[in-house]
Each structure stands twice: as C-alpha cells, then as structure tokens.
Structure 1
C-alpha cells in the first residue's frame, strides 16, 4: 500500500480505511459466491464419470476418423435447407422488426406512454427466448419441418434487429430531421429524406450480422425436428455413426466460416 508523507506531516494513502473495508468485504462476497456456485455446479456430478472422461473422449475420437466422405451427397439438400432457414428467417424478421423499431424509438414513436412500452415488450420477449426453444414450441404446434425452423429464427431475430435498430434511430442527427420538416415535408418525406439515409448503414450492418448469427443457429435447429443439416446430425448421433458426425461437423464449420467471410466483406463494403 503506497504511503506518502506530505509537508504537513500527514500521510496520504490510496484508499481510506472505509474504502479498504468495503473492498475487503467485496472480495469476501466474491469468494463466497464462487464457493456457492462451485457447490451448485458439482452437487450432482458423478466424479467417476469425470475421471473416465478422457478415455471415453479418446475412444469416440478414434471412431470419428476418418470422415465418411461418401456421405456428402446426402448433405447437400440439408445444407441448402439450413441456408434457406437462416435467410428466410432473417427476411421475415425484418418485416416485423423495422416497424417495431420505429415504434420503440423515442423520436419516432407515436406515443411514448403506450406504443413505445408495447414495442419494447415485444423486443424483450423475442430476445429472452432462445431460437432452440422457439423451435421446440413451433415443432409441437406446426409439426417438424422447415417452416418451424424459419419461424423460430424469425421470432428470435425480431428482438435483436429491433433493439439495435431503434437505438440507431434514437442516435440520428435531429437537426437534419428539423431541416427537412421545416420545408413543409410530410411525415413520409421526412422519413425518406432525413431518417432513412442516416440509419441505412446501421440497418445493413445489423441485417448482415444477424444473418451470420442465424447461419450458426439454424445448424442446430434440426436437433429438435426443425429441419436442416441439424436433422442429419441428430440421426447420425442417434445411430452412433461417428464418421458421419465428423463430416457434418466439417460441413458446418465450413459453412460458418464462409458466412463469416461473406458478412465481413459486406460490412466492409457498407462501412
């Protein structure tokens, strides 16, 4: 603890006695929280399985190689379905998220007291439920298939796009809006000439970024029956066809890397 002697004879310390006591209690609470979390995490752990995990992992790893490359001909259609789930789900979300974002933004909502809270509630509800849970619910309602996957991706994406977009709307330069409105422009013209040009870069970046995320999420929706390459992964796991699992992992990795490259290029071109 650094202590300096001043000209008046009084010493200077980095923290006062009260601050040191608060910091000490803070560290004590953090240690107690870590101990409690560890107890909760390991309460139902069977340590015999944990000790045997390296051997089991090595055994599965041996079974997974080499990949069954001939199985690739059966993956093209599921892979195409996965891309369609991500793309159509993103587009469907845009049709809902854009109006919701304008209703949620303080500077464009028709009612701060009533309409804005309702729009924010929709955004929060969408973001609070994972796409896999949406898929479980929709498969139960609509049955297995691509439609459930597309709607699950859309319902999850509405909150993400809506939140980022309404924040971008609230950050626009109000002077440009006032200048266009002062010319006697209508509300639609103000939106077209003052608001839209300011948010278009953010809108494009958000859309591409969400599409990139949806590529990742759509690869696992098949595990609950929502179609795509995840369905083939589920079948291969259930039948312990480990060489097929390896090939599916390679295909998913390649797809995600390609989508990341595409989204990065698009964002770079926009920005």
Structure 2
C-alpha cells in the first residue's frame, strides 16, 4: 500500500507549473526561429553552399607558411607584448582604487562615490578594446600608445569588478580586530583588507594580462600597432603565406603566455 502511495498519480490535466514550463520552452523556440529568419533574411545561400570549396582554396594558398617572413615580425610581436603588458599595468593601477571605491565596506560614500566607481566599471566593461582603439586612434593617431590606452581602459572594469566583489567578501573579523586597536582607515586597509585580497588580486591581474595578449594581437587592424598591423597589411596584399605565418606566431604567443600565466597563478594562489 505504501509503495502504491509513492507512485505518481495520473492526472487528467497538466498542473499550472507544467503549463508555465511548456509555455516558456515554446516562447524560446519561437523567438529562436524568429531571430534566425531575421538574421538570414538577406543571406545569399549560394555563397554558403560554396563556402567549403572557397575555404579549401584559401587554405591551399596559405600553405606552406612563408617562414622567411618571420624576421619581419619580431618588432611587431615585441610591440604587441608591450601593448598587452603596459596596458594591463596601467589598467591595474587605476582599477585598484576604483575597486575600493566601489565596494560597500570600503567606499568613502555609498551615495556619491560608489555610483561613480560603478559607472566607471560598467563603462569600461561595456566597450570592447577594439572600439576603444578605434576612438583613441581617431584622437591620438595610429601607434602603440592608442593600443596601450585601449587595453588599459578595457582592463579597468574587468579587474575592478572582480576585485571589489572580493573586497566585499572578506572576513570582517580581521577588520574588527585591527579597528579595535585604534588603527586609522588606511591602516585597516593595509593590515586587514589587502592581505586577504592580495592573492586574488595578483591572480586576477595575471588572468587579465593573459586575455590582453589575445586582444592586443588584433588592435593593429584599426591602426593601434602590434602584429595585427602586419596581419592587415598581408591580407590587403593577398600575401596568404604571410598570413598563415602570422596566425602561427599569434597562436604560439598565446599558448606561451597562457602557460606562463597559469604557472605563476599556481605559485601565487
């Protein structure tokens, strides 16, 4: 009898919860179909069907890579690394105080200072580094300075958001213990807060540097310097063996930077 009571009873009508679930799935499917039709309205499917042949033809032109061209990439690769590293460093320097201004437990003013800090974070995270580079190239002219500033402006929001969330999750006991000694606000930050968030901060900074290595490789496409400038030049001149070599160099650089970043984060954390 007990086993029969545990069995699910047959119901003539679906429950309200089941109707809501099925209705939600129906809306998702309908919206997906509508968006697909809207996006593919002007698609020329003849080119899509021909895409595998075109890709194979392009790949045949790219291989083998022009290995002798690598001597022309050292300077551009060095510029790319400088853009990523200096941009990350500048972004971290600005992001550190912004994070403290944005955190509930460290901001000088929840009503005035914190909204400004959150606005800076949202603005930085909402605009892609490529868009920052476009704006800065128009203002400063082409060159690696625009690339460095674009990476920095993009990094501020990323680092600040993760850091201020870490500040808000610190152990308050340490803060109360240091405050009980009569320490000033800055002393509380130095001795109670920073030691708790320092490992996370270093890990976040290294992770952002790893991301910026990837992003800095394409900033040259809009004139912000780096190896992307060589990539754009090679594509404009249809020098496909040079393009394949640049792609290989970018891939190798990203793999090495990711390995270095992972190893250092493991040592720190």
TM-score range, shorter chain: over 0.9
**Cα deviation per residue 1:170-194 (whole Å; 9 max; x = unaligned)?**
1111110110111111222111111
Q: 2:209 aligns to what? A: 211
Q: 1:270 aligns to what? A: 268
Q: 1:63 aligns to what? A: 61
Q: TM-score, normalised by structure 2?
A: 0.96
Post-superposition offset of 1:158: 0.3
Taking the TM superposition and a 5 Å limit, the aligned residue runs for 1:1-271 are 5-6=4-5, 11=9, 17-271=15-269
Post-superposition offset of 1:11: 2.4
Matches of 2:134 and 2:193 in 1, distance apart? 38
CA 1:10/1:96 → structure 2, altered by over 3 Å: closer, same or farther?
closer
- CA RMSD across the alignment: 1.6
Number of residue pairs aligned between Structure 1 and Structure 2:
266
Matches of 1:41 and 1:213 in 2, distance apart? 30
Q: Which runs of 5+ in 2 are unaligned?
A: none
Matches of 2:178 and 2:10 in 1, distance apart? 58
Post-superposition offset of 1:234: 0.2
* Farther off after superposition, 26-35 or 234-243: 26-35
Matches of 1:48 and 1:197 in 2, distance apart? 61
Matches of 1:100 and 1:12 in 2, distance apart? 59
Helix, strand or coil for the counterpart of 2:57? helix
**Cα deviation per residue 1:192-224 (whole Å; 9 max; x = unaligned)?**
111110000010000000000000000000000
Post-superposition offset of 1:147: 0.3
Post-superposition offset of 1:46: 0.6
Q: Which runs of 5+ in 1 are unaligned?
A: none
Matches of 2:264 and 2:215 in 1, distance apart? 20
Post-superposition offset of 1:6: 2.2
CA 1:179/1:249 → structure 2, altered by over 3 Å: closer, same or farther?
same
Post-superposition offset of 1:5: 4.5
* Farther off after superposition, 240-249 or 31-40: 31-40
Helix, strand or coil for the counterpart of 2:50? helix
Q: TM-score, normalised by structure 1?
A: 0.95
Matches of 1:171 and 1:238 in 2, distance apart? 50
Helix, strand or coil for the counterpart of 1:6? helix
